[in-house]
Amino acid sequence: MSGIDFLLHGFAIVLLDPANLLFCSIGVFMGTLVGVLPGVGPSAGAALLLPITYRLPGIQGILMLSGILYGAMYGGSTTSILLNIPGEAASVITCIDGYQMARKGRAGPALGIAAIGSFIAGTVTVILLSMTAPIMAGMALKMGAPEYFSLMTLGLLVLTFLARGSMVKALIMTVMGLWLSQLGMDPNTGQHRFTFGIVRLWDGVPMVPLFMGVFGISEILENLEKEIPVEVVKTKIKDLFPNLEEWKRSVGPIIRGTFSGFPLGLVPGAANTVASIISYAMEKKLSKTPEKFGTGMIEGVAGPESANNAAATGQFIPLLILGIPTSTFTAIIYAGLLIHGVQAGPFLISQHPDIFWGVISSMYIGNVLLLILNFPMIGIWVQMLRVPFKVMFPLIILFCLIGSYSINNSNFDVFIMIFFGIIGYLCRKFGFDTIPFVMAFVLGGIMENSFRQSLAIGHGTFLIFLYRPISAVCLGLGLILLAHSVISSKMGKGRPHLLDED
């Protein structure tokens, strides 16, 4: 079968099975809702919904989680435009001109171009993904254990380099995540490691309750300290389609945002946020009237929203092809795959083609569903914005408790969720970024296996990591990042703090 045949097979999996289409639609709807509600980001929303997928067949659970991602990317723009509050980090830039358009009575075109730009960018980048994925999977098959270990090491170092706060704190969180991933039974010797005599820890720390605590509970606790305003801009939302002049001004930003955002999805960290920032800076630089940016320029909405969604699609390449999540959200999808016994990586296409091509096809379908859902439901989302957070958070807490308990019917899982919720909250308060911690926890087991296999290949010598060109390059780049950070700190210069929780 050719790539086109596989893609058509993926469409058949989603469209011809009512259950698959239903859960894809639920994911898109819930993602939009999560993106719309201020104080609940897509990572927190996906972590809270992860227990639901535990009882679903593998393809349906993954379709729903994937739908949450690109649904949340659009939903965040609604809050940014109408409330001047980003529903998720990647929509921060949309606040600048989107809210000013709403104040001028142009909320409709701002919301419309956000939806259309997201649809175009999502569709184009999914086509790029479906074309490049088989080629990249073939290249990934040529990589061995040393390359995987070095590549994941580089990824963690990039995360610590881009993390908020000091790199020392980020490195501490990375080490803690790697240590936590080693709890439980040694896969080779059967020895118990760091279990402290707790039988429940023999299988390691449960991943889903940890995610729910670090992303869900901690975010709720942090938001309880803030007064999140819910004053929606008082203007009638009409004329969702931009006029001809606005269309002409938006075409270029949408195209540029699409093709600049997609490759940024490959970069570990806050790819969506970085893509939005770069797109906005690019449009301002190319504009003949840069001084008007910040006063309600539609280019400041079209470009960043397109780049945001393009980067979201690009994040699936390292996840599905290499089996390496590069963001908190793809780490949650990675956990969802593991829950259903599916290992992401170069063998995913051959061993689980239904899941791989079903997910790819669902992105096409999800973009269409987003367009269908969001245009007629703008009024509903506006009403949802009026719900105070103090009304929402008890319901979210209850959902967390039920979800964590229902996985294994275990009180221990509830305790783990609460414990890591408090840990995540304290980390946020004292400036310790949780993203390197979570990513290290997710990748720790794979890194350990790759490290052991590498030493076996090299007959016990660490030089095996330098003999392999790709491995040596990855480790070299990692050392350069570390050296740059040390030199910058000695010279009193800062480093980029681009990594925000999405």
**DSSP of 362-413, one letter per residue?**
HHHHHHHHHHHHHTTTHHHHHHHTTS-HHHHHHHHHHHHHHHHHHHHT-HHH
String of DSSP letters for 147-165: HHHHHHHHHHHHHHHHSSS
User: Among positive and negative, which fits the CA dihedral 406, 411, 413, 416?
Assistant: positive
pLDDT score recorded for residue 253: 92
Contacts of 422 (CB under 8 A, 6+ apart): 213, 217, 218, 221
Residue 371 has pLDDT above 80, yes or no: no
Looking at the domain assignment, is residue 500 inside a domain?
Answer: no
CB 221 within 8 A of CB 421: yes
Characterize 124-161 residue by residue with b for buried, 16 or more Cβ atoms within 10 angstroms of its Cβ, and e for exposed.
Answer: bbbebbbeebeebbeebeebbbbbbbbbbbbbbbbbbb
CA–CA separation, 165 vs 258, rounded Å?
30
Phi then psi for 193, rounded to 5 degrees?
A: -115, 120
Highest mean predicted confidence (pLDDT) among 108-117, 260-269, 376-385: 108-117
pLDDT score recorded for residue 254: 93
pLDDT, tens only, 488-498 = 766 655 555 54
Reported pTM: 0.77
Looking at the domain assignment, is residue 174 inside a domain?
Answer: yes
pLDDT score recorded for residue 227: 60
Looking at the domain assignment, is residue 130 inside a domain?
Answer: yes
In the block, which residue shows the tokens 């991602």?
Answer: 69
CA–CA separation, 37 vs 21, rounded Å?
24
Looking at the domain assignment, is residue 502 inside a domain?
Answer: no
Q: Could you give the number of structural domains in the chain?
A: 1
pLDDT score recorded for residue 399: 73
- Residues spanned by the domain of 278: 3-491
Looking at the domain assignment, is residue 501 inside a domain?
Answer: no
Looking at the domain assignment, is residue 238 inside a domain?
Answer: yes
pLDDT, tens only, 227-249 = 655 555 555 566 667 888 888 88
Mean pLDDT, residues 164-184? 84
Looking at the domain assignment, is residue 160 inside a domain?
Answer: yes
pLDDT, tens only, 420-447 = 989 989 988 888 888 888 888 888 888 8
Looking at the domain assignment, is residue 499 inside a domain?
Answer: no
pLDDT, tens only, 137-160 = 777 777 888 888 888 888 888 777
